[in-house]
């Protein structure tokens, strides 16, 4: 009788031990499975950042290297045009970026935005479809001229000044900080072209003054050439 009781107790102990081992093993397996799923999610992966295609005329560099038409432009790249350069970046659903000569920007894209940083202020135009945020920041605080062709932009400059500009409006600002738009917009930020136009003003005034002097002298010469009347 004692033998049977001892044997029963031994079997019970073995069964209990096996149950405990099974519980811990299943728990560890479940935890390991959870870690694996978190490390390699099969759903919810971020979509690939969009890219663009560059069209080029003249001298253009991307990340400091000479570029040619047809190259792919990716988020984080920098592009700059030389004295004879022009570049357009076709971004498909994110719109288009155009750079005239002596212009440099760094562009960062997401699926819903296209943000620019002004590296060299020449003339840059950005066109954005509806629903695509965009804009440009200027770490150099240049004096810029802003033209808004469509939509609306918000501009900040000169230590806290702010203003909204809408289609057909333009403005020159000192110490430009940033321009932001929620989309459905086309705008241009320029330095060189606007400054060239300003430089032409004194030349035009000087030319006009010269023209006036020339006309006056010509009139005096004609008066001197008239013969006096004979009584």
Whether residue 5 lies inside any domain: the answer is: no
In a domain, 31, yes or no: no
Q: What is the pTM of this model?
A: 0.65
Which tokens belong to 23?
């519980």
Under DSSP, is residue 40 helix (H, G, I), strand (E, B) or coil?
A: coil
Give the up-direction half-sphere exposure of residue 102: CA atoms within 13 A in the CB hemisphere.
Answer: 9
> Is 101 within a domain?
yes
Burial of 216 (0-12, 13-18, 19+ CB in 10 A): exposed
Answer yes or no: are the C-beta atoms of 46 and 61 closer than 8 Å.
no
Gap between the Cα atoms of 52 and 75, Å rounded: 9
CATH of the domain at 167: 2.60.120.1440
- 3-state secondary structure at position 143: coil
Q: How many CB atoms lie within 10 A of CB 140?
A: 11
Q: How crowded is residue 193: how many other Cβ atoms within 10 Å of its Cβ?
A: 16
Domain membership flag for residue 21: no
User: Does 39 reside within a domain?
Assistant: no
Structure confidence at residue 49 (pLDDT): 74
Query: Which residue bears the tokens 């190259």?
Result: 71
Ranges of the chain with pLDDT below 70: 1-47, 192-231
Please write down the HEC assignment for all residues of 51-88. CEEEEEECCEEECCEECCCCCEECCCCEEEECCCCEEE
Residue 108 lies in a domain: yes
In a domain, 10, yes or no: no
Domain that includes residue 143, residue range = 52-193
Count of domains observed in the chain: 1
Tokens of 71: 């190259």
């Amino acid at each position: 009788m004692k033998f049977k009781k001892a044997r029963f107790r031994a079997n019970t102990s073995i069964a209990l031990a096996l149950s405990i081992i099974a519980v811990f093993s299943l728990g560890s397996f479940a935890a390991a499975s959870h870690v694996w799923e978190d490390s390699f999610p099969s759903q919810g992966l971020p979509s690939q950042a969009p890219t663009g295609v560059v069209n080029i005329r003249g001298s253009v560099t991307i990340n400091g290297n000479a570029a040619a038409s047809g190259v792919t432009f990716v988020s984080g790249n920098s592009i700059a045009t030389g004295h004879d350069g022009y570049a357009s970046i076709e971004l498909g659903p994110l719109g288009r970026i155009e750079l005239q000569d002596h212009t440099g920007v760094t562009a960062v894209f997401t699926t819903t935005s296209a943000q620019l940083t002004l590296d060299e202020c020449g003339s840059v135009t950005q066109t954005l479809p509806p629903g695509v945020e965009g804009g440009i920041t200027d770490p150099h605080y240049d004096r810029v001229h802003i033209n808004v062709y469509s939509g609306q932009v918000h501009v900040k400059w000169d230590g806290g000044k702010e203003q909204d500009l809408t289609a057909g409006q333009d403005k020159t600002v000192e110490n430009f900080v940033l321009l932001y738009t929620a989309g459905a917009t086309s705008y241009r930020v320029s330095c060189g072209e606007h400054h060239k136009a300003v430089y032409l003003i004194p030349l035009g005034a000087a030319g006009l003054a010269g023209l006036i002097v020339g006309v006056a002298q010509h009139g005096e010469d004609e008066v001197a050439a008239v013969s006096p009347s004979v009584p």
